[in-house]
Amino acid sequence: MNVLLLGSGAREHAIALKIKESSLLTKLFISPGNPGTTLCGINVNIGSDFSSIKDFVLKNNIEMLVVGPEQPLVDGIWDYFHNDSELKDILVVGPSKMGATLEGSKDFAKAFMQKNNIPTARYKTFYKDTLQGGKDFLKTLNPPYVLKADGLAAGKGVVIPETIEEAEKELTQMLECAKFGEASAKVVIEEFLKGIECSVFVLSDGENYKILPVAKDYKRIGEGDTGLNTGGMGAVSPVPFADETFMQKVEQRIVIPTINGLKKDNIEYQGFIFIGLMNVGGEPFVIEYNVRMGDPETESVFPRIKSDILEAFNSFRKKSLDKINFEIDSRYATTVMMVAGGYPENYEKGKEIKGIEKTNDCIVFHAGTKENEGKMLTNGGRVLAVTCYGNTMQEALNKCYENVDKIDWEGKYYRKDIGKDLL
């Protein structure tokens, strides 16, 4: 079968590599893809307009659309396909627009969790005309305070002020001064949860589910989790503290009620559910839902999937994911993200990358690169993600860092402490 994958990051490179291994694949197209995905399929640049995607899909006999990032899902690409007589038989891997609201609206996600008794931080939602109520609610909480813009804000919509004064100021800026534009017209204020985070990924056909390998990502730019937030600086899978006891709680208290809650509300959901969790003294609480895979978690999680991923996706047609034998590599996989100097603030592009060909026993996923006259150049903040396997986390990390050392460009930066907090 011919497959179209949307997206351009290292996450999509990791997904493309897995699709390429499938016995069901005829041709894989990636739009827009990156120099890494050219090794897995054909890069095309269709753009984000649904009607252009339709034209391409029909012209190239695409039978399956796999959506990497959240935006097309939040914009309703599933519904567009579902409601079009020429597209309705094409399988879209990703939820309906309503399902994508789990990521597109924090208020919707919190109400969904509350309704389905899914453990999450206590919260209330406020608007411009209930600003005073928001300030009063803040007074009932202990610092630090968690304020979340309701809508998508390019991963920047969460602020965690330390003092009540800062929190009130922040709330006012979000609601009255549209700090995050339309996204902060509504603000969720919630209790701060103290613990350690991990990312749980679930694949669902709407009826059945498979829990994918659990991962932990490292969001801050600086070692010891300091400095600005980034798109993610590294990941490890599995996560030692997410042991069988913990994962059983996750499955019973979170995964099953989530799938059942979606079904009860007739929300079409065939795709990935990314559950951002806080482990609070051994008890899992949901921090957020995303309706896609995580980046860089995918670069650690997907290499551990041994089964044919297209076979799993294809089972959505008959809602028979339960019949699929989902095999996971028992080894650790770890990922170190190599970024441009200056990232996540201003950084330069166009630096020549050298040494990728010297790496061994690892997978180099492309995030922000560009090929120009036979040279590989940096073309983004996050540039390459280096993933290695190991029988222990330490072994995988050692291999990652040996390989990271072989790759070079002017100003390259990476965190040297990925996974260290778990060893």
Distances (CA, A) of 15 to 69, 77, 237, 383: 12, 19, 16, 17
Nearest residue (CB) to ligand GLY, 220 versus 406: 220
Cβ atoms within 10 Å of 275's Cβ, excluding its own = 23
232 binds ligand GLY (CB under 6 A): yes
Q: Within 287-316, which residues bind ligand GLY (CB under 6 A)? A: 290, 294-295, 297
By DSSP bridging, strand 363-366 and strand 234-237 are unpaired
Closest approach of ligand AMP to the CB of residue 134, in Å: 16
Nearest residue (CB) to ligand GLY, 126 versus 302: 302
Whole-angstrom Cα Rg for the chain: 21
Nearest residue (CB) to ligand GLY, 190 versus 217: 217
272 closest CA partner among 226, 234, 321, 333:
321
State the Cα–Cα distance between residues 7 and 307, nearest whole angstrom: 22
x/- binding map, residues 237-276, to ligand GLY, per CB under 6 A? ----------------------------------------
- Residue 217 touches which member of ligand GLY, ligand AMP, none, C-beta under 5-8 Å by kind: ligand GLY
Burial group, residue 399, by CB count within 10 angstroms (0-12, 13-18, 19+): buried
- Residue 294 touches which member of ligand GLY, ligand AMP, none, C-beta under 5-8 Å by kind: ligand GLY
Nearest residue (CB) to ligand AMP, 206 versus 284: 284
Closest approach of ligand GLY to the CB of residue 297, in Å: 5
- Residue 387 touches which member of ligand AMP, ligand GLY, none, C-beta under 5-8 Å by kind: none
- Cα angle for residues 210, 386, 228 (degrees, 5° grid): 90
Q: Which tokens belong to 393? A: 């986390």
Residue 41, CA atoms < 13 Å, CB-side half-sphere? 30
Closest approach of ligand GLY to the CB of residue 19, in Å: 19
For the chain, the 3-state helix, strand and coil shares in percent, each to the nearest 5, are: 35, 30, 40
Interhelix angle 164-176/131-139, rounded to 10 degrees, is 160
The 8-class DSSP code of residue 260 comes to: H
CB 401 within 8 A of CB 417: no
Q: Within 153-172, which residues bind ligand GLY (CB under 6 A)? A: none
State the Cα–Cα distance between residues 64 and 81, nearest whole angstrom: 11
Nearest residue (CB) to ligand AMP, 288 versus 299: 288
Provide the binding-site residues for ligand AMP, judged by CB under 6 A: 121, 146, 158, 190, 192-193, 197, 276, 287-288
217 binds ligand GLY (CB under 6 A): yes
334 binds ligand GLY (CB under 6 A): no
- Residue 192 touches which member of ligand GLY, ligand AMP, none, C-beta under 5-8 Å by kind: ligand AMP
Residue numbers at the binding site for ligand GLY (CB under 6 A): 217, 232, 290, 294-295, 297
